[in-house]
Chains A and B, each alone.
Chain A
Amino acid sequence: MNKKILVVDDDQDILEPLSIILEDEGYVVSTTPKGEMTYTKVREFKPDLVLLDLLLSGSDGRKICKTLKEDKATKHLPIIMMSAHPGADADSRNCGADGFIAKPFELEDLLKILKKKLH
């Protein structure tokens, strides 16, 4: 069965190409530009991995990551954080994310990380 990835980013211009590429790679993709929708999406879509932007306008990606990691039901769900902010790497580690990729990334690098975390 194809692996499911949930992509959370407040920027539509990131969500659009990212979902096309990931679908192209054979993943089942669901996206949301709203951080607070992440929990509902996780419950309903049941992704195998979450690709989460670090600082989403409105809600804080770090908080979302922490909440998911503290919840027994979602603790094992791999979360990869992405950000264009300097110093975000350390932030992502602090909130328990399983991986981090800095924007702008090379497509191969992103796919490599996804593959590693999904197998």
Chain B
Amino acid sequence: MKLLNYLNPIAHLGEKKYSVLSPLLVMVLFCVSSEVFAYDIAKNPMIVGSYAIFIPVALIIYFAFREGIKGGLIAVVITILYYFYIMYTRHYKGAELDSGIETTIILALLDFLLAGIIGWLKQTIDQLIERESDERRRLEAIIQQLPVGVLITNKKGQLIHQNKQVEKILGRKFPANYTFGKDRTILNGTFNGKLVKPSESPLAYVITKGRAITEKEYTLEFDENRKKYVQVSASAIRNKQGKIIAAAQIIADITNQKEIEKQKDDFLSMASHELKTPITSMKMFIDLQSRQLQNIKSEKAKYFNNRIKDQANRLKELTNDLLDVSRIQTGKLRFNKEECNLTEIVKDTVEGLSGTTTTHTIQLKGASKYSILGDKYRIYQVLVNLITNAIKYSPNGKKINVEIRKIKQNVVVSIQDFGIGIRKEQQTRIFDRLYQVTDPNEKTFPGLGLGLYISKEIIEKHKGKIWVESEFGKQSTFFFSLPLVSKNK
């Protein structure tokens, strides 16, 4: 084998297979040399030295491949020397010479041309192979440095590459030639609480189904007390023709993230309880106070009590908003969706809020029944937010128009105020977290700037849309649309 390797003119490139070019060039050279050989034999079959024509031919190939153009030149020198040797022997043996130095020069030039071509080809191949191996080395370095585990298999699911992170995350390496989907799994992983079978491993899945997996979460159980959470993405690697040639999997350790999330959740739950309990108590005492004040003549005391009540309610709303935002960010905002009549919710909200404002009249248009699938409380929350915003941002306006109508398969609710309006450039940003509109005199309005952000999240989680149309300094209309429940279900 070693000998064969040595004879392989491109063995030095680490390439075990012979290139397609190699046999082709050998064939060309063979034809050329045969020609020369036939000519020589025809001249004098007894000249043994003629057979030696194959020596320079072999040398040309060999050196050209090994050393490029430089090798080709060496081969040319050898050829010339060889021809001088032939001429010398013929002369020595008194043979007739009908080819002179010119033939030798022409042949040497042809040799040089051939060697040049071979050398050039060899260099090109060299560069290509080098570039590819450079690429491979670069990729290898990147893969090893990645903070996530990387597994690469061939099209049969057999492991061909894994980085150090795999061992770090899984606690052990996959054995060489391990086949995903076939071999026994080396650790117990669960998805949604169910044990993952080898045939359901992400790599086996992407190879058989051809579809990618993105950020799927698995739980790895090492023993009863030690668990790890990983996020797995996998996809098949295809060639130009779209055929699967390999598959790659990325494993990210999200255990820490999960723990932080849990702590955040626990804190949120605790904070929610701890903040809301005193507010509950406070509100009840205020109600009790109100009842007591009914028997007392002091208008001032009643006024003060009402102000305390307003502020307690504001505190309640702010607490709710803060908790909602945290829940949105952790993806924990839950909805109890049921079929409900949106018109009724809008009507109730308008009636409820009409009682709280002395400055504005809220007009409701549209009375047909529109059934939607939604969380009543959350939709109500959106409406309250939009209507109180309309009141808040139209200090000089007197009217708020609320309209409900059907557009195609959606029901659209609009809330129009005649207040400060919103500049064009602000209109896209008002649904961002913590964004607040300022009025033309740069006056700011109270609030945390969370309401529209929460409303947008709620509406979008109901497969709806929320948007605004406004003329700066004149009016603003907020719209939201929700899909109607189809009747022929």
Q: Which residues of A contact B (CB under 8 A)?
A: 11, 13-14, 17-18, 20-21, 24, 55, 83-87, 89-90, 103-107
Q: How far is the CA of A104 from the CA of B276 in the complex (A)?
A: 6
Whether B272 lies near A86 (C-beta < 8 A) is: yes
Find residues 259-303 in chain B having any chain A CB closer than 8 Å to their own CB.
Answer: 268-269, 272-273, 275-281, 283-285, 287-288, 291
Residues of B within 8 A of A103 (CB): 276-277, 279-280
Q: How far is the CB of A50 from chain B (nearest CB, A)?
A: 18
- Closest residue of chain A to B272 (Cβ to Cβ) is A86
A-B contact pairs, 20 of them (CB 8 A): A11-B277, A11-B281, A17-B281, A18-B284, A24-B288, A24-B291, A84-B276, A84-B280, A85-B272, A85-B273, A86-B269, A86-B327, A89-B336, A90-B336, A104-B279, A104-B283, A105-B280, A105-B283, A107-B284, A107-B287
The answer to whether residues A86 and B284 also contact, given A13-B277, A103-B277, A104-B279 and a CB cut-off of 8 A, is no
CB pair B269 A17 closer than 8 Å = no
Q: State A23–B316 Cα separation when bound (angstroms).
A: 25
Q: Mark B residues whose CB is within 8 Å of A.
A: 268-269, 272-273, 275-281, 283-285, 287-288, 291, 316, 323, 327, 332, 334, 336
A13, B282: Cα distance in complex, Å? 9
Known: A14-B284, A104-B280, A107-B287. 13 other contacts (CB 8 A): A14-B281, A17-B285, A55-B273, A84-B272, A84-B273, A84-B280, A85-B272, A85-B273, A86-B272, A89-B336, A104-B276, A105-B283, A106-B283
Residues of the A chain whose Cβ atoms lie less than 8 Å from the Cβ of B275: 84
In the complex formed, the residue of A with least CB distance to B323 is A86
Which chain A residues lie closer than 8 Å to B285 at the CB level? 17
* CB atoms of B327 and A17 under 8 A apart: no
Q: Which residue of A lies closest to B273 (CB)?
A: A84
> What's the nearest-Cβ distance from chain B to residue A72, in Å?
30
Most chain B Cβ neighbours within 10 Å, of A55, A85, A103: A103
* CA A17 to CA B312, docked complex, whole Å: 16
Contact of B280 among A14, A20, A85, A86 (CB under 8 A): A14
State whether B281 touches A86 (Cβ < 8 A).
Answer: no
Q: Which of B287, B334, B336 is in CB contact (< 8 Å) with A21?
A: B287
Write out the residue numbers on chain B whose beta carbons fall within 8 Å of the beta carbon of A105: 280, 283
Q: Which residues from A are CB-within-8-Å of B288?
A: 17, 20-21, 24
Main secondary structure of the interface of B (DSSP, over half): helix
Inter-chain contacts of B284 with A (CB < 8 A) = 14, 17-18, 21, 107
Name the distance in Å between A37's Cβ and chain B's nearest Cβ: 20
Residue ID in chain B nearest A14 by CB atoms:
B281
Q: Which residues of A contact B291 (CB under 8 A)?
A: 24
Least CB separation from A86: chain B residue = B272
Residues of the B chain whose Cβ atoms lie less than 8 Å from the Cβ of A55: 273
The answer for the CA separation of A13 and B284 in the assembled complex, in Å, is: 10
A90: which B residues are within 8 A, CB to CB? Answer: 334, 336
A90-B332 Cα distance, complex, nearest whole Å: 14
Cβ contacts under 8 Å, A13 to chain B: 277-278, 281
**Docked complex Cα distance between A104 and B277 (Å):** 7
With A and B bound together, what is the CA distance between A91 and B17 in angstroms? 68
The CA-CA distance from A90 to B278 in the complex, in Å, is: 23
- Residues of chain A within 8 A (CB-CB) of B272 are 84-86
**A110 CA to B327 CA, complexed, in Å:** 26
Is there an interface contact between A104 and B316, defined as CB atoms closer than 8 Å?
Answer: yes
Contacting residues, chain A, for B277 (C-beta < 8 A): 11, 13-14, 84, 103
CA gap between A21 and B275 in the complex, in Å: 22
Chain A residues, Cβ within 8 Å of B334? 86-87, 90
A107–B284 Cα gap in the complex (Å)? 7
The smallest beta-carbon distance between B290 and chain A, in angstroms, is 9
Contacts of A18 in B (CB 8 A): 284
Which of B268, B279, B287, B336 is the one whose CB lies under 8 Å from A86?
A: B268
Give Cα distance in the complex from A20 to B323, angstroms. 30
For the complex, give the distance between the alpha carbons of A48 and B280 in Å.
24
Cα-based distance from A84 to B323 in the complex (angstroms): 11
Query: A21, A55, A84, A106: which has the most chain B beta carbons within 10 Å?
Result: A84
Residues in chain B near residue A11, CB distance under 8 A: 277, 281
CA distance in complex: A71, B159 (Å): 59
Q: Considering the complex of A and B, which 3 residue pairs feature the smallest CB-CB distances, nearest first?
A: A84-B276, A17-B284, A104-B280
Q: Which of B269, B279, B323 has the most CB of A within 10 A?
A: B269
CB distance from A24 to the nearest CB of B (A): 7
Residues of B within 8 Å of A24, CB to CB, are: 288, 291
Q: How far is the CB of A78 from chain B (nearest CB, A)?
A: 21
Which residues of chain A have C-beta atoms less than 8 A from B276's C-beta? Answer: 84, 103-104
Nearest A residue to B274, CB-CB: A84
A89 to B335 Cα, complex, angstroms: 11
In the bound complex, how far is the Cα of B312 from the Cα of A104, in angstroms? 10
CA gap between A24 and B287 in the complex, in Å: 11
CA distance A14 to B284 in the complex (A): 8
Complex Cα distance, B65 from A34, in Å, reads 93
B284 and chain A: residue at smallest CB distance: A17
B residues in contact with A21, CB < 8 Å: 284, 287-288
Closest to A54 in B: B273
